[in-house]
Amino acid sequence: MAADPNAQYQSPLTSRYASAEMAANFSNNKRFGTWRQLWYSLALAERQLGLEGISEEALEEMKANLDNIDYKVAAEEERRRRHDVMAHVHAFGLVAPKAAAIIHLGATSCFVTDNADLIIFRDAMDLLIGKLAVVIDSLSRFAMEYKSLPTLGFTHFQPAQLTTVGKRATLWVQELLWDLRNMQRARDDLGFRGVKGTTGTQASFLALFNGDHDKVEELDALVTKLSGFKECYPVCGQTYSRKVDVDFLSPLASFGATAHRIATDIRLLANLKEIEEPFEKDQIGSSAMAYKRNPMRCERICSLSRHLMVLIGDVLQTASVQWLERTLDDSANRRISVPEACLTADIVLTTMQNVVEGLVVYPQVIARRIRGELPFMATENVIMAMVKKGADRQECHEQIRVLSHQAADVVKMQGGDNDLIQRIRDCDYFRPIWADLDALLDPATFIGRAPQQVDRFLEQHVGPALAPYAEAIAAKKPAELSV
């Protein structure tokens, strides 16, 4: 009888959040199916290089049973032998009896475990890279749409000079582009452990080929090619260097920081009621406060990104304590840390796509906030306009200073609106520029080159960076948000 899934712990990463594609990539079917593919590739390459005792019938049986895995048999054998690889060698041999004697010939366990990991990591990164390209493309479209919409800029989360909604989005896009570059580099840098033997010396294969070094090198290269890699690591111990895991996870941790920053910005803007993540028709923000629209998607991004960022510590420590040719204290940790990093990054990207493609902008709220702060920012423009009309700069500065402090008192002490402009209109001293005040306060004159910067950035940087991923972007699916 199958165990009740509700009676035991389930990882939220797979049971609640992760995409079907990424969950499948780290499934038992993928892992042990890849082991069998590696055993088949090894036997095929050994036969092609003239090794006797590997029949065509044996290869055909292996190929026909790559996915025919009897997990019950494997589990029973592992309980007996306390060795997962040998348990699966046994299970494979039962369904491919003509190959039973040559499965795993000359190999050590890490031939399948390490090489399979590298294949799985490569495929995981391909999924992540495609999703990241989709997020960048969607956010770039948002930046273009709002490139000219003025908004109050913030430094120290205090009102600063104006920017535009689209220009602010390019700050997010730029960091995501760096993440895309870093992930692609990590993916392209992945090599294959290859056919190296027990401690990396290839002694077992040298014995199989009667001391023929060239045949051993050909075997290594052929299995590497059959597994879809351009090259294998030239030297290794029993395992590939665990520093590879550091290089693989580093861009994911870095992406976690980017995602956390973007989601935090959106949460701050949601508090200001300027921009919000999508909120579904029947969504409930609070069980008690019916009016609430909590930014739960961005909060989820932040929450999971924190987990993603700290997982790099696991692989750093693992890499630092590998003794000589290897020690086994890496295994249990890597079974958790690396898959969880990929699953978490996948969930964050799916959620980000959902958020970015559903962002809601409230121009009137943004404009109201600008009106509350712009009069103070415009004082220098007012002074310069008065000077052009013949006023004394120092006297004008004193006039505007007094009115500014009066307006600030209304805002801070009385809770009223910023009435500085009305005070200027009511002050006879400023009569020469009354007719110019609307133009002096046009927010579009305070955003500098923000729209042009957006255009140039998208054209010269985003477009070329996304060109290699056009197929993934065209094939994108709506980001279905899990519960």
- Strand, helix or coil for residue 278: coil
* Token code pair at residue 132: 């990241």
Q: Where are the alpha helices (DSSP H) in 311-392?
A: 312-320, 331-356, 363-377, 379-388
Please give the single-letter amino acid code of residue 303: S
Contact 418, 411 (CB under 8 A): yes
Distances (CA, A) of 209 to 46, 49, 111, 222, 339: 9, 9, 18, 15, 37
DSSP 232: B
Report the catalytic residues. Answer: 156, 286
Closest CA to 22 of 113, 124, 92: 124
Contact 45, 222 (CB under 8 A): yes
Distance CA 51, CA 54 (A): 7
Closest CA to 379 of 418, 329, 328: 418
Please give the single-letter amino acid code of residue 2: A
